[in-house]
Structure 1
Amino acid sequence: MATTSRLSGLRNLSVDDRRAAVTDAVGGNLDLASLAGNGLSTEQADRMIENVIGQIGIPVGVATNVIVNGREVLVPMATEEPSVIAAASNIARMSRRFGGIITRSSEPLMQAQVQLLDVTDINGARARILEAKDEILALADAQDPKLVEVGGGARDLLVRIVQGVLDTHLVVHLVVNVGDAMGANAVNTMAEAIAPRLAAIAQGRSLLRILTNLADMRVTRARLTIHPDEVGGAEVIANMIAGANLAYDDPYRAATHNKGIMNGISAVVLATGNDTRAVEAGAHSYAARDGQYRALSRFEQDAEGNLVATLELPMAVGLVGGATKSHPAARAAVAMTEVSTARELAEIVVAVGLAQNVAAVRALAAEGIQRGHMGLHARNVAVAAGATGAEVDAVAAAIVERRAVRADVAESVLAELRSNQ
C-alpha cells in the first residue's frame, strides 16, 4: 500500500526518476516499464482492433496528494490537456486538511434493454412478463455461470411502457450484478438469450437487445471539504458557489462545467484501459435525468465556512476483460492504484473528477482559467513553434511573460533566441 501520495517536487524530476519515485511510494512492487513509449507493440495493437496501421500516444501522468477514504493513492491519468493533473493534485492537497476525499458507491448493477414490438395488449404483456420474472432471471443466469459463481448474476426484471413522441414502446430491463467487470459483454449476452422468451410471452417480436450506458443503478459519490484559507478566502468560496449554481441552472454553463469534471474522470478511465465513451455517455445522460442538462456536482458552504463539494454520477468501470487486461500500460496503471475491486477503482475515478472540477471552478472564481492553463500550455506552443531542448522552457517563459501564448509570438521569440546564440 502506498506510504504517501504527497510526492513533493515530482515535476522537477526526470521521467525515469518519476517512475522510480512512484514505484518506491507503493513499496517497490511495481513495474512501470510498459508506460514507456506507447506501452503497446504493433503486434499487440493488431490483436486489439481491426485494420491497425499504427498508434497514437497520449501522455500518462500521475496525480499526487490524493487520499480516498483514508488511503493514500497515486492516480494514473492519460490526457493531452495541460494543467489537468496539476490542478487535480493541487485540490487533492488542499483536501488533506480534512482527511481527503470521501467516496461511496452502490453495487455494480448494469442493465440490458430488450425492445419488444408488435405487441397488441401492451399492459397485459407487461403483466405476463413480470409473472415470469423468476424464469427469465434463471435463463439469464444460465448464460454466465462463472459470474454467478463469484456472486454476480441477474438481480431483477423491470418492464417499462415508454410513452414517446413518435411511438409507445415496451422495453424490458434486465438488472445484473456484473462484479468486477464493466459488464457490457455479460449483460448483452444475457439480453440476447432472454429476448426470444420475452417476445413469446408478449406475443410480439424483439428488436434491440443491448445494455444501456445510463448506469443509474451503479452510482458513485464523492465529497471533499476545503478550508477558506486554502482557496483564497471566503469571497472566493462565495464566488465558486455562485458559479457552480449557474452551472446547475444553465445548460450552457453546465456543459463546460461537466467537461471539467470529465477532464479528470476520462483521464483515469483511459489510463486504466476502461471505456471512456461508455463512462462519458452515462455521465452526460445522468446530468439530464430530470429533463434539463445540469451540473453533476454541487458546491456549498458548511456551518464553519468551509467549502463542501460533492459529485454523483454513474461509474461503470471494471478490472477484468477488455483493454484493462490486454493492454500492458493499462495493467501497470491499475497496479499503481493498488485497488482490488472495480468499486474501489470507480471511487478513485470520481474522486479525481471532483478534485479537477473544484480546481476549475476555483480558477474561474479567482484568477481566471487562462492564467494557469495557458502557463502550462505554453510549452506545447513552444514545441509547435519548433523549439527543442532547453529552448522549450525559454520560449514558454517568454510568451507567458508577454501574456501572448500564441504560435506567432512563440516563433518570433524562438527566432530572437537563436539569433542571439
Structure 2
Amino acid sequence: MTKFYEKTPAARRQQLIEEGILSNRGADCLAEKGLDDAVAANLIENQIGQFALPLGVVRNLTVNGTVRQLAMVTEEPSVVAAASNGARLANLNGGVKASAGPHRVIAEVVFDDVADFDAASRMIDQHREMLFAVANAAHPSAVKRGGGLKQITCEQRDRFLILQLTIDPSQAMGANLANTIAEAVAAAAAGLLDQPVLVAILTNGSSELVSAEVTLDPSTIATAPGNGATIAEKIAALSDLAQCDPLRAATHNKGIMNGVEAAVLATGNDTRAVAAAVGAYTQGKALSTWQLAGGQLVGHIKLPLPVGVVGGAISALPKAQAALSMGGIRTVADLQMSLAALGLVQNLAALRALAGPGIQAGHMALQARALAIAAGATGDEIAAVADRLPAQARDLASARKVLEELRGKH
C-alpha cells in the first residue's frame, strides 16, 4: 500500500477528502497556485506579486485524545517529516496532553514624567467605571460577544505611569481590538490627568502560557544506533544542556519554532507576534524540558501563543480557512494546544535524531531535493538528481554536475 508521503499532492488531497478531513472546496483551494488578485492587492501595500511556499500536513497528531491534521507552511526540508515522526512517537504513547488558559491580550497606556504618581493612580481608580464605559463604547461588538476590556491596573515603572489593560478578544488574535480600546482609554485618561499620553498600544509580551506534555516509554523511541533507554538518557542530557547553555537553548528553541511558526503561518496568523512573545518569554532559556521519571521520558513545554481563529488575514485567506478546517480547529484554545503539542513533538524528533544517528542523516537526504531545484532541475529531474547525489558531496556544484550528466545521457 502506498504511504501518504509517497503519493502525489493530488492523491494526498483525495485521501484527505475520503477520510472526511478535507472538503472538496478546501481541496480545490489548496490546489490553487495563488491568491485572487484582488485579495492580494488589498492585504498589503505596494503589492507587486505573490510569494509561494509549500503547504504540507502533519498527519494524526493526537492532542487530548483528539486526532489533528495540522497544516504547515515552510521552505525547510525535513521539518514536516520530523514533526510527523514526532507525532507518530507520541501516538505510540497515547498522544500529547495540553492545556490553555483564558485567551487575553494586554495593551498599555503610558504617561511620561507624571508629577504625582499616587494622585494620578487614585484619579484613575476613582474613574474606573467611566474608563470601562469608554472602552466598551470603542468596540461594542466585542462586548456583545462577551469580550472587551476586563481589567485595568496602574503601576509605576521608573518615571512612567503605565495603565495595563487586560482585554478578552474572544476568538480573534486581538491586536486591532486592543489598539482601538487602548487609544480610546488613553484619550479619556489624558483628560483626567490633564497630561498627554506617551503611547497607547498593545504589547506583544504575554503572560498567557500554553502547556503540553508527553510521557514516553523509552522502548518506543529506540533508533538503529542505540536502544531506547540510552536514547532517553541522551535526550534528558541534551535538555539539561539547553537549560544552562544559552547558545544551545537558541538552537533547541529554533527546532521547536520550526513546527510552531510553520503552523501559525498556515493558519493566517501573525508569526512575528508569536516570535516576539516567545523571545520575550524565554530570555535565553529553553522552552521545553525532558526528564526521566519512573523509567519514562517526560517532555514538557510552556510558551505564549498569541493567535486567533477569526479576523484579519485569518478570515481573508481561503487557504488559512482550509487549514483550520482540516485540523478541526474551532477555537483559539484548540489552535494554541495543537501548536504547543506540535512544538513538543518537533522537539522530540530533533533531540532523538541528535541522540541517535545525528541530525544530518535525514536532513541532508531531504536537502538534496532543494539542491537539485537550485541547480536547475525540473519535473522528474529533481528526484533523479537527488537520488544520484553522493552523501559526501551534497552541495550545489555537485548537483549541477549530476544534472549536466543526466541531461547529457538524454
TM-score range, shorter chain: over 0.9
Q: Distance in 1 between matches of 2:190 and 2:46?
A: 37
Residue 90 (str. 1) matches residue 85 (str. 2): yes
Query: Shift in Å at residue 372 of structure 1?
Result: 1.0
Residue of structure 1 equivalent to 2:201:
210
Residue 230 (str. 1) matches residue 224 (str. 2): no
Q: Distance in 2 between matches of 1:186 and 1:236?
A: 47
Q: Deviations over 1:288-334 (max 9, x none)?
A: 2xxxx21111111121x222111111111111111111111111111
Report 1:177-192 matches (<5 A): 177-192=168-183
Change in CA separation of 1:82 and 1:201 when aligned onto 2, cut-off 3 Å: same
Q: Deviations over 1:22-45 (max 9, x none)?
A: 222235635221122444122210
**Helix, strand or coil for the counterpart of 2:250?**
helix
Q: Deviations over 1:57-91 (max 9, x none)?
A: 01000001311110111110000111111101111
**Helix, strand or coil for the counterpart of 1:99?**
coil
Mark the runs of 5 or more structure 2 residues left unpaired by the alignment.
223-227
Residue of structure 1 equivalent to 2:395:
406
Report 1:3-402 matches (<5 A): 9-26=3-20, 29-30=23-24, 31-163=26-158, 168-216=159-207, 218-232=208-222, 233-288=228-283, 293-303=284-294, 305-399=295-389, 401-402=390-391
Query: Shift in Å at residue 8 of structure 1?
Result: 7.7
Is the 1:125–1:203 contact (alpha carbons within 8 Å) kept by the matching residues of 2? no
Query: Shift in Å at residue 391 of structure 1?
Result: 2.5
Change in CA separation of 1:360 and 1:50 when aligned onto 2, cut-off 3 Å: same
Change in CA separation of 1:376 and 1:350 when aligned onto 2, cut-off 3 Å: same
Q: Deviations over 1:326-384 (max 9, x none)?
A: 11111111111112211111111121111111111222222211111111111010111
Q: Distance in 1 between matches of 2:44 and 2:367?
A: 32
TM-score, length-scaled by structure 1: 0.92
Question: In the alignment, residue 26 of structure 1 is paired with which amino acid?
Answer: G
Q: Distance in 2 between matches of 1:127 and 1:255?
A: 44
Query: Shift in Å at residue 11 of structure 1?
Result: 1.0
Q: Distance in 1 between matches of 2:70 and 2:19?
A: 12
Q: Deviations over 1:220-274 (max 9, x none)?
A: 1111122212222111111111112222222211111111111101111111111
Is the 1:260–1:356 contact (alpha carbons within 8 Å) kept by the matching residues of 2? yes
Is the 2:281–2:304 contact (alpha carbons within 8 Å) kept by the matching residues of 1? yes
Is the 1:65–1:90 contact (alpha carbons within 8 Å) kept by the matching residues of 2? no
Query: Shift in Å at residue 418 of structure 1?
Result: 3.0
Is the 2:22–2:326 contact (alpha carbons within 8 Å) kept by the matching residues of 1? no
Identical-residue share of aligned pairs (%):
41
Is the 2:92–2:220 contact (alpha carbons within 8 Å) kept by the matching residues of 1? no
The farther-off stretch of 356-365 and 67-76 is 356-365
Question: In the alignment, residue 306 of structure 1 is paired with which amino acid?
Answer: Q
Q: Distance in 1 between matches of 2:32 and 2:110?
A: 45
Is the 1:222–1:347 contact (alpha carbons within 8 Å) kept by the matching residues of 2? yes
The farther-off stretch of 385-394 and 405-414 is 385-394
TM-score, length-scaled by structure 2: 0.94
Is the 1:126–1:202 contact (alpha carbons within 8 Å) kept by the matching residues of 2? no
Q: Distance in 2 between matches of 1:79 and 1:147?
A: 33
Is the 1:118–1:204 contact (alpha carbons within 8 Å) kept by the matching residues of 2? no
Q: Distance in 1 between matches of 2:343 and 2:368?
A: 24
Query: Shift in Å at residue 390 of structure 1?
Result: 2.8
Q: Distance in 1 between matches of 2:20 and 2:125?
A: 50
Q: Distance in 1 between matches of 2:155 and 2:230?
A: 48
User: Aligned pair count?
Assistant: 404
Question: In the alignment, residue 204 of structure 1 is paired with which amino acid?
Answer: Q
Q: Distance in 2 between matches of 1:234 and 1:71?
A: 29
Question: In the alignment, residue 221 of structure 1 is paired with which amino acid?
Answer: S
Is the 1:223–1:311 contact (alpha carbons within 8 Å) kept by the matching residues of 2? yes
